[in-house]
């Protein structure tokens, strides 16, 4: 079956990214893959319809995109767009491939609803961390943008400047920035804060990242806690027990007293973000200091975080930004589109759609297929939710 890739306009409130950019339309066309794009799908990201047409894409209505394409690329599929995304259910059809973010480990009822359409849903969150799939790692791409934007938000909010300045009026000391969590977002935050002139230190529950932290110019903070089981086989942080987090919070309090800015990025896939900064810890920070909680969408690493809001507590400002990648939609779309197109190439052969379930990338990423939820972990979570009554499908 010849592959035709469709790109609908995003309907999630405030989402400015687009799944396929004009440049990738041209790349796909050179591989013999046709592209069809909804009117104005890329406008908010800086890609007008004329750019798509000049790169070989066809502009169409939303209904025509879903009708003509057998591969649909979306930034936010139903699970990541649970309200407005429901209108697309009637447009999906059996045998169609859907690629995008869909929060499959938490949006269980939405996964079940997608299964009823017969669509084969490939969730970008589940791309395996193997060498062959590096070009498809959309989570890392978006985390890079998030880490960068988080530092800019902090710098804009802080009543100080980041760099050291020696002036006729005296010397201005550099701001002190502490990054909690040294994954992709954390490392990008470190690099960005360093470029702005801050003195940066960082902590991660995984001691193995010490060398990475130091390589981008930060001091790695060592805490006297047991971290032997803090990393899973995919390199992601694992959830720890409450005793561990309690001890960690005690030790971090002394570190926070010295900081002007905290960028918190700690997250565990499919789980609520661990609370690393309590109300008392935040209150111990200097007046005027800033916490940017990148994990706000998962509940936040700070006890005071309110997702999507700014909170001021005891002189400390806590930002809970949502959808940080959408604040830089041009480059976020550019990176995400490259990830999606790499995955499309993995499921096509000489422009023919070929969903090989024996391929590790397909097997690990495929959530629904043939009218069922086929991903073992998602299916297990869904069954457990049905038994508990949390999901009724």
Could you confirm whether 215 is annotated as catalytic? Answer: no
The CA distance from 12 to 35, in Å, is 22
Is 140 noted as a catalytic residue in this protein? yes
Catalytic: which of 129, 194, 195, 306? 129
Q: Catalytic annotation on 157?
A: no
Q: Which of 134, 254, 280, 372 is catalytic?
A: 134
- Output the DSSP codes for 76-93: E-GGGSTTGGGGGGGG--
CA distances from 53 to 199, 277, 340 (A): 47, 49, 20
From CA 351, how far away is CA 30, in angstroms rounded? Answer: 10
Q: Are 188 and 141 in contact (CB under 8 A)?
A: no
Q: Which residue of the set 236, 351, 363, 386 is catalytic? A: 236
End-to-end CA distance of the chain: 32
Task: Please list the alpha-helical segments (H only) found in the chain.
Answer: 22-30, 49-54, 62-68, 108-116, 138-157, 184-195, 210-215, 242-256, 279-283, 329-346, 360-365, 376-388
Report the C-alpha gap between 76 and 31 in whole angstroms: 25
**CA dihedral in degrees (82, 86, 89, 90; nearest 10)?**
180
The active-site residue out of 109, 135, 140, 385 is: 140
Cα 388 from Cα 393, distance rounded (Å):
12
Q: Tell me, yes or no, if 129 is annotated catalytic.
A: yes
State the burial class of residue 29 (Cβ atoms within 10 Å of its Cβ: 0-12, 13-18, 19+): middle
Residue 266 in contact with residue 205, Cβ under 8 Å?
yes
385 is catalytic: no
Which residue among the candidates 88, 113, 137, 293 is catalytic per the annotation? 137
Token pair listed for 385: 């939710």
Instruction: Say how far apart CA 333 and CA 325 lie, in whole Å.
Output: 9
Q: How far apart are CA 381 and CA 104, in angstroms?
A: 10
Distance CA 197, CA 161 (A): 9
Cβ atoms of 266 and 293 within 8 Å: the answer is: no
Active site residues: 129, 134, 137, 140, 236
């Amino acid at each position: 079956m010849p592959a035709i890739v469709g790109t609908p306009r995003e309907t999630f409130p405030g989402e400015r990214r687009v799944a396929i950019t004009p440049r990738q339309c041209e790349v796909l066309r050179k591989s013999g893959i046709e592209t069809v794009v909804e009117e104005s799908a890329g406008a908010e990201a800086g890609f007008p319809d004329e750019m798509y047409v000049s790169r070989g894409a066809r502009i169409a209505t939303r209904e025509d995109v879903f009708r003509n394409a057998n591969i649909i690329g979306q930034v936010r599929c139903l699970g990541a767009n649970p309200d407005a995304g429901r209108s697309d259910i009637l447009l999906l059809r059996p045998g169609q491939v859907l690629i995008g973010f869909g929060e499959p480990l938490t949006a269980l009822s939405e996964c079940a609803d997608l299964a009823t359409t017969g669509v084969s849903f490939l969730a970008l969150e589940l791309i395996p961390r193997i060498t062959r799939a590096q070009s498809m790692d959309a989570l890392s791409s978006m985390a890079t943008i998030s880490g960068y934007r988080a530092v800019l938000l902090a710098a804009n909010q802080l009543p100080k400047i980041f760099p050291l300045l020696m002036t006729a009026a005296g010397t201005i000391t550099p701001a002190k920035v502490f990054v909690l969590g040294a994954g992709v977002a954390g490392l990008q935050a470190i690099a960005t804060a360093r470029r702005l002139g801050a003195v940066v230190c960082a902590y991660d529950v995984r001691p193995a990242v010490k060398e990475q932290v130091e390589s981008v110019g930060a001091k790695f903070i060592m805490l006297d806690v047991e971290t032997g089981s803090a990393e899973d086989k995919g390199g992601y942080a694992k959830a720890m027990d409450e005793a561990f987090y309690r001890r960690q919070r005690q030790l971090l309090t002394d570190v926070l007293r010295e900081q002007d800015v905290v960028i918190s990025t700690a997250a565990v896939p499919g789980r609520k973000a661990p609370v690393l900064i309590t109300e008392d810890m935040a209150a111990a920070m200097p007046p005027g200091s800033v916490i940017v909680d990148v994990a706000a969408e998962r509940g936040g690493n700070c006890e005071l975080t309110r997702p999507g809001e700014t909170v001021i507590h005891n002189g400390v400002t806590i930002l809970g930004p949502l959808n940080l990648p959408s604040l830089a939609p041009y480059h976020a779309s550019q990176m995400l589109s490259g990830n999606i197109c790499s995955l499309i190439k993995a499921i096509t052969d000489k422009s023919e759609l070929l969903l090989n379930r024996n391929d590790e990338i397909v097997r690990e990423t495929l959530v629904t297929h043939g009218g069922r939820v086929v991903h073992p972990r998602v299916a297990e979570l869904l069954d457990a939710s049905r038994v508990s009554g949390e999901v009724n499908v």
